[in-house]
Amino acid sequence: MIVNLVVLLACQLAGEVAARGLGLPVPGPVIGMALLFAALIMRPALAERIAPTTSALLAHLSLLFVPAGVGVVGHLDTLGQHGVALIAALLLSTVAAIMAGVYVFLLVARLTGASE
């Protein structure tokens, strides 16, 4: 458990240092994810070791967004008089993006023979 957390935190730390040091446009934890991924490719045995910790974390991933969500409620007035237009744009655009992603995936999967 402790070792597993150290692995996660060390990857995140290395990611933060890399993001800042190299001025990359990606947040530290995302680089940390890439680093851990590389480590798993080199040492597949590590996956089995840390899986209990990572599964527990990811099973409750939505919990981790609650504090930020509560922060948004206090700032809903930043939407100002544009509230309705902004919410409409978010809703429609999110639906459009999901549909575009799904259909292009299925189309290209069929073209390249990668269908399920």
- How many of the chain's residues bind another protein (CB under 8 A)? 81
DSSP string spanning 25-75? SS-HHHHHHHHHHHHHHH-THHHHHHHHHHHHHHHTGGGGGHHHHHHHHHT
Angle subtended by helix axes 2-22 and 28-42, to nearest 10:
120
* CB of 52 vs another protein, minimal distance in Å: 10
Pair of tokens at residue 99:
């549909």
Contacts (CB under 8 A) with another protein, residues 2-31:
5, 8-9, 11-12, 15, 25-30
* CB of 4 vs another protein, minimal distance in Å: 9
* CB of 5 vs another protein, minimal distance in Å: 7
17 or 91, CB closer to another protein?
Answer: 91
Contacts (CB under 8 A) with another protein, residues 42-61:
44, 47, 50-51, 53-55, 57-61
Contacts (CB under 8 A) with another protein, residues 64-93:
64-76, 78-79, 82, 84-93
Report the chain's terminal Cα–Cα distance, integer Å: 36
Tell me if 1 contacts another protein by CB under 8 A.
no
What is the rounded (10 degree) CA torsion for 41, 60, 100, 37? -10
